[in-house]
Amino acid sequence: MDLGRAASGRRRLKDLLLQKDNRVCSDCNAPDPKWASANIGVFICLKCCGVHRSLGTHISKVLSVTLDEWSDDEVDAMIEVGGNASANSIYEAYIPEGYTKPGPDATPEQRSQFIRSKYELQEFLKPSLRIVSGKSNQSSSSGSFMDSFRSAGSQRMEGMIEFIGMLKVKVIQGTNLAIRDIKSSDPYVVLNLGSQTVQTTVVRSNLNPVWNEERMLSVPEHYGQLKLKVYDYDTFSADDIMGEADIDLQSLITSAMAFRDPGMYSDMQIGKWLKSDDNALIEDSPVEISDGKIKQMMTIRLQNVESGDIELELEWIPLDQ
Ligand SMILES: [Zn+2]
């Protein structure tokens, strides 16, 4: 270990701790905090530290400022966040009026409830804002806030993704899929939206698989196309692709924005994604209000493959549900 670097890390951490806003616990204002959440980037007292620990390291990775070894990355992340005031300006941005933060002598229940609301449920962020990890592996030593800040560099807000709603995709079935092994294929569907990827289960030896599986995706403000790929599961080598298609979400989302409270309307068609020569639709795909929900049925022809259609149902789920 490089003792020189370790010493400088310790020095930098100490300097940060001496900053005025870091002289009290970020969560309860108790003086002289000696603990920190290395991924969230706040200094906290011993009592709050106990609650942070109970949240699990995927939410808060607690380290002692004086007793633990800190990696350079962890120190850098703390410095990037900029201390308690900076972190709280985001995590406590929308504390409801009349809400009182727990003080140093709060009961364990009050303390625990506040800290869970603040970091686990993220209740006091701007309503549509959720701090999410750029990494798929949430259990890695680095956590959400740090990754957000890192990936964003100094533009810290850009590291947080603002979601406008949720998309529920029901993968219903495939028809006449391509043969990839000698006689059949073991197909599964992969859906990709922005940085999120979800997939169905594998259906063994079936060119007309029925999935009827629902998967949820968060829809970012700049959502782009939903990418669908079908693969043939292969135990011994890389899975072969069995076709793909791009799904345009514009008609669904534009209609959903125009009918924000679909429960008020009876069943009707509110939009349509039109079939064209350069999209994968087999026929026009209507957007409908059905039982108070906004849904879009579609059958798409897989591209870059001999054959295969996939039937899907999309449902728009507003954030406030
Ligand atoms: Zn505290």
Predicted confidence (pLDDT) per residue in 51-60, tens digit: 998 888 888 9
Distance 67 CA to ligand 1 centre (A): 18
Average of per-residue pLDDT values in the chain: 86
Distance 70 CA to ligand 1 centre (A): 21
- Residue 148 predicted with pLDDT over 50: no
Distance 21 CA to ligand 1 centre (A): 13
Q: What architecture (CATH level 2) is domain 164-317?
A: Sandwich (2.60)
Distance 29 CA to ligand 1 centre (A): 6
- Residue 152 predicted with pLDDT over 90: no
164-317 matches 3-159 in CATH topology: no
Q: Is 2 exposed, middle or buried (0-12, 13-18, 19+ CB in 10 A)?
A: exposed
127 pLDDT tier (thresholds 50, 70, 90): low
The domain defined by 3-159 folds into Annexin V; domain 1 (1.10.220)
Domain spans in the chain, listed from the N-terminal domain onward = 3-159, 164-317
Distance 140 CA to ligand 1 centre (A): 25
Distance 122 CA to ligand 1 centre (A): 18
Distance 63 CA to ligand 1 centre (A): 14
Which distant-in-sequence residues (6+ apart) come within 8 Å of 89 by Cβ? Answer: none
- Per DSSP (E only), the strands in the chain are 35-37, 42-44, 62-64, 129-130, 161-175, 187-193, 196-199, 210-220, 226-232, 240-247, 268-273, 285-290, 293-301, 309-317
- Residue 5 predicted with pLDDT over 80: no
Distance 39 CA to ligand 1 centre (A): 17
The dihedral region occupied by 270, where left means phi > 0, alpha psi between -120 and 50, and beta the remainder, is alpha
Nearest to 176 by CA among 230, 248, 225: 230
Mean pLDDT of 115-141: 66
Distance 24 CA to ligand 1 centre (A): 8
- Residue 255 predicted with pLDDT over 80: yes
Mean pLDDT of 38-62: 91
Distance 19 CA to ligand 1 centre (A): 17
Q: Is 289 exposed, middle or buried (0-12, 13-18, 19+ CB in 10 A)?
A: buried
Distance 240 CA to ligand 1 centre (A): 53
Distance 31 CA to ligand 1 centre (A): 8
- Residue 166 predicted with pLDDT over 90: no
- The total number of residues shown for the chain amounts to 321
Q: 235 versus 112: which is more confidently predicted?
A: 112
Which range has the top average pLDDT, 69-78, 84-93, 296-305?
A: 296-305
CB 291 within 8 A of CB 152: no
Token code pair at residue 209: 């698989």
- Residue 132 predicted with pLDDT over 50: yes
Distance 111 CA to ligand 1 centre (A): 8
Find the range with the poorest average confidence among 43-57, 110-124, 126-140, 226-240.
126-140
Distance 11 CA to ligand 1 centre (A): 23
Q: 10 versus 173: which is more confidently predicted?
A: 173
- Residue 221 predicted with pLDDT over 90: no
